[in-house]
Protein backbone atom coordinates (compact mmCIF):
# COMPACT_ATOMS: atom_id res chain seq x y z
CA UNK A 1 0.00 0.00 0.00
CA UNK A 2 2.78 2.44 0.88
CA UNK A 3 4.68 1.71 -2.32
CA UNK A 4 1.53 2.26 -4.38
CA UNK A 5 0.86 5.55 -2.61
CA UNK A 6 4.44 6.67 -3.24
CA UNK A 7 4.25 5.84 -6.93
CA UNK A 8 0.89 7.57 -7.38
CA UNK A 9 2.22 10.72 -5.70
CA UNK A 10 5.41 10.61 -7.76
CA UNK A 11 3.28 10.45 -10.90
CA UNK A 12 0.50 12.91 -10.02
CA UNK A 13 1.93 15.15 -7.31
CA UNK A 14 -0.47 16.99 -5.05
CA UNK A 15 -2.46 15.36 -2.29
CA UNK A 16 -3.42 11.71 -2.12
CA UNK A 17 -6.63 10.83 -0.28
CA UNK A 18 -6.85 7.19 0.82
CA UNK A 19 -10.14 6.28 2.46
CA UNK A 20 -9.68 3.13 4.47
CA UNK A 21 -10.60 1.47 7.70
CA UNK A 22 -7.67 -0.04 9.55
CA UNK A 23 -8.66 -2.07 12.60
CA UNK A 24 -5.28 -3.67 13.29
CA UNK A 25 -2.99 -1.22 15.08
CA UNK A 26 0.20 -2.97 13.92
CA UNK A 27 -0.92 -2.63 10.30
CA UNK A 28 -1.65 1.07 10.85
CA UNK A 29 1.81 1.59 12.38
CA UNK A 30 3.38 -0.14 9.37
CA UNK A 31 1.49 2.14 6.97
CA UNK A 32 2.27 5.27 8.98
CA UNK A 33 5.98 4.42 9.27
CA UNK A 34 6.19 3.64 5.57
CA UNK A 35 4.61 6.94 4.60
CA UNK A 36 6.96 8.79 6.97
CA UNK A 37 9.97 6.91 5.53
CA UNK A 38 9.12 8.28 2.09
CA UNK A 39 8.40 11.78 3.42
CA UNK A 40 4.70 11.52 2.62
CA UNK A 41 2.75 13.73 5.03
CA UNK A 42 -0.17 12.10 6.76
CA UNK A 43 -3.39 13.59 8.06
CA UNK A 44 -5.76 11.15 9.69
CA UNK A 45 -9.51 11.70 10.05
CA UNK A 46 -12.24 9.50 11.40
CA UNK A 47 -15.50 9.72 9.49
CA UNK A 48 -17.78 7.89 11.84
CA UNK A 49 -21.18 6.28 11.48
CA UNK A 50 -22.85 4.66 14.47
CA UNK A 51 -23.26 0.89 14.82
CA UNK A 52 -26.89 0.77 13.66
CA UNK A 53 -26.20 2.98 10.61
CA UNK A 54 -23.29 0.75 9.56
CA UNK A 55 -25.42 -2.37 10.00
CA UNK A 56 -28.26 -0.87 7.95
CA UNK A 57 -25.90 0.26 5.17
CA UNK A 58 -24.23 -3.14 5.03
CA UNK A 59 -27.49 -5.05 4.94
CA UNK A 60 -28.98 -2.71 2.30
CA UNK A 61 -25.90 -2.56 0.04
CA UNK A 62 -27.25 -2.95 -3.50
CA UNK A 63 -23.79 -3.25 -5.08
CA UNK A 64 -22.06 -5.86 -2.92
CA UNK A 65 -25.14 -7.18 -1.17
CA UNK A 66 -25.32 -7.97 2.55
CA UNK A 67 -21.81 -8.96 3.54
CA UNK A 68 -21.21 -11.40 6.41
CA UNK A 69 -17.56 -10.31 6.31
CA UNK A 70 -18.44 -6.64 6.86
CA UNK A 71 -21.04 -7.52 9.50
CA UNK A 72 -18.41 -9.49 11.47
CA UNK A 73 -16.30 -6.34 11.75
CA UNK A 74 -18.99 -4.07 13.17
CA UNK A 75 -17.94 -4.67 16.77
CA UNK A 76 -14.16 -4.39 16.15
CA UNK A 77 -14.89 -1.12 14.32
CA UNK A 78 -16.97 0.13 17.27
CA UNK A 79 -14.11 -0.72 19.64
CA UNK A 80 -11.60 1.08 17.43
CA UNK A 81 -13.92 4.11 17.27
CA UNK A 82 -14.20 4.16 21.07
CA UNK A 83 -10.43 4.21 21.46
CA UNK A 84 -9.55 6.68 18.66
CA UNK A 85 -8.21 10.14 19.40
CA UNK A 86 -10.78 12.39 21.05
CA UNK A 87 -12.06 15.32 19.07
CA UNK A 88 -11.37 13.87 15.63
CA UNK A 89 -14.60 12.08 14.87
CA UNK A 90 -16.95 13.59 12.31
CA UNK A 91 -20.46 12.21 12.08
CA UNK A 92 -22.33 11.81 8.82
CA UNK A 93 -24.36 14.97 9.47
CA UNK A 94 -21.40 17.34 9.59
CA UNK A 95 -20.30 19.36 6.57
CA UNK A 96 -17.33 18.19 4.52
CA UNK A 97 -15.75 21.58 5.10
CA UNK A 98 -15.27 20.60 8.73
CA UNK A 99 -12.88 17.86 7.66
CA UNK A 100 -10.59 20.21 5.75
CA UNK A 101 -10.07 22.38 8.82
CA UNK A 102 -9.60 19.53 11.34
CA UNK A 103 -6.32 19.08 13.15
CA UNK A 104 -4.16 16.03 12.41
CA UNK A 105 -4.77 12.94 14.51
CA UNK A 106 -2.49 11.86 17.29
CA UNK A 107 -0.08 9.10 16.35
pLDDT tens column, 50-85: 889 989 999 999 998 898 988 988 888 887 777 665
Radius of gyration of the chain (CA): 15
Q: What are the tens digits of pLDDT across the range 92-103?
A: 444 344 444 444
What's the pLDDT at 77? 81
pTM > 0.75: yes or no: no
What's the pLDDT at 84? 61
In the predicted structure, residue 107 carries a pLDDT above the cut 80: no
Amino acid sequence: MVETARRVLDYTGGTLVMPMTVLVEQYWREISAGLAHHGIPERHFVLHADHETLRERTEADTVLGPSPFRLRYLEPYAEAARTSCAGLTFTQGQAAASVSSARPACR
